[in-house]
Amino acid sequence: MIRYQKLGYVALNVTDIDQSRDFYENIVGLKLVEQSENGPVFFRCSRDHHNLVLYPSSTPGLKRVGLEVEDPEQLEIAYNHFKNVGLDPKFLDKEEQRALRQGKTFRIHDPNTQITFEFYSDITQMATEFQPTHTNIARLGHVVIKVPEFEKCLEFLTEVMNFKVSDYHDETLAWMRVFPNPYHHTFAIARGERHQLHHINFMVSDIDDVGRGRNRLIENEVPITFGPGRHGPSGSIFLYFQDPDNLTVEYSFEMEEFPEEKPRKAKLLERHPKTTDQWGGKPDPKFASFGYIEGAVEEVKS
């Protein structure tokens, strides 16, 4: 089965590219890499050329998810696997690969989650390490989406994508890691009325980044929708806030890590407010309530 390196990047659709560029650079703290005329904006929080890409669109939300596999051999294994299960993987042409600063790359569209997943093993490594400005961002952490057919999506992600469940609420929420990446979750699904982005996450290196981030958000009148608090499943300290399109972004500090061999079994967790926040906080109604998934049936009909 497929062996992943990590969640490589997230591509978002945004309605005002300049406003969102300023937000993710100056409020979130990502490094602006490049912006093409009337095209995407690339940011990084690592040595990779990009970990977040913004595309102009009239419909804000999730455009696609980029997954880095361990090596070129794994890329071929993944391509053949998806072809054999009838998902019709398509390699990008050389021009688009160059524009993304990636090596050989292919995409599939999952009819269950409605997400376009992208797979690659090579991405341009920048000449210098990521240098934090105000926030010590350690990595792009995870993506969470809402889905109406929870069981069907979970089966696809575990049986076809080779994601491993770390913990779950029965039939309502599952936290998964892209095997053998050790972090408690790099992807998660929650039951919802339609296919929708829940949030994207950036992991920080110091708990003080969460505290300073809260004050910076308040000073810049950025809506905070949940936190600070501590998640029960992963043990992470969290802070959720909204970008200019009301898409939910999270800072988090610390997370349980799993060994590749003999990991603990997934826990079935009680559906209780303290499972979500051990400190007893409650989310704002706007928390994780905005953001289409590009290509989803709901978007086409709207």
pLDDT in tens, 135-153: 999 999 999 999 999 999 9
Chain position carrying tokens 């703290």: 29
* 66-70, 106-110, 295-299: segment of lowest average pLDDT: 295-299
Question: How many CB atoms lie under 10 A from the CB of residue 1?
Answer: 11
* Residue of higher predicted confidence among 2 and 38: 2
**Distance, CA of 39 to CA of 276 (rounded, Å):** 38
Q: Which helix (H) or strand (E) holds 161?
A: none
126 phi and psi angles, rounded to 5 deg: -70, 160
Mean pLDDT of all residues in 70-80: 98
- Whole-structure pTM value: 0.96
Q: Which is higher by pLDDT, 108 or 298? A: 108
| Number of Cα atoms under 13 Å in the Cβ half of residue 172 | 8
Q: Which of 204, 254, 235, 260 is nearest to 5 (CA)?
A: 260
pLDDT confidence bin for 298, thresholds 50/70/90: low
> Which residue would you say has higher pLDDT here, 257 or 299?
257
In the prediction, which pLDDT does 300 show? 47
pLDDT tier for residue 297 given thresholds of 50, 70 and 90: low
Q: Is the dihedral of CA 203, 209, 210, 215 positive or negative?
A: negative
C-alpha distances (whole Å) from 89 to each of 72, 111, 295 are 16, 13, 16
pLDDT of 168: 95
Q: Which two tokens stand for residue 100?
A: 């993304």
Q: What is the mean pLDDT of residues 3-12?
A: 98
pLDDT tens readout for residues 177-191: 999 999 999 999 999
Half-sphere exposure of 46 (CA within 13 A, CB side): 19
**What is the rounded distance in angstroms from the CA atom of residue 15 to the CA atom of residue 46?**
26
Residue 36: the pLDDT is: 83
Q: Is the pLDDT score of 171 beyond 90?
A: no
Task: Tell me the pLDDT band of 233, cut-offs 50, 70 and 90.
Answer: confident
Token reading at 92: 């990008």
From residue 201, alpha-carbon distances to 2, 78, 221, 271, 274 in Å are 23, 25, 20, 22, 20
So what's the pLDDT on residue 302? 45
For 84-114, b/e burial (b = at least 16 CB within 10 A) is eeebebeebeeeebeebbbebbbbbbbebbb
Mean pLDDT, the chain, rounded, equals 95
Query: Which amino acid type is present at position 193?
Result: E
Residue reference for tokens 């989406």? 145
Please give the average per-residue pLDDT across 84-97, as a whole number: 96
Map residue 149 onto helix, strand or coil: coil
Percent of the chain with pLDDT over 90: 92
Mean pLDDT of 34-55: 94
Report the alpha-carbon distance of residue 235 to residue 184 in Å, rounded.
9
pLDDT above 80 (res 39): no
Q: Report the pLDDT averaged over residues 197-213.
A: 97
Closest of 16, 41, 40, 14 to residue 30, by C-alpha:
41
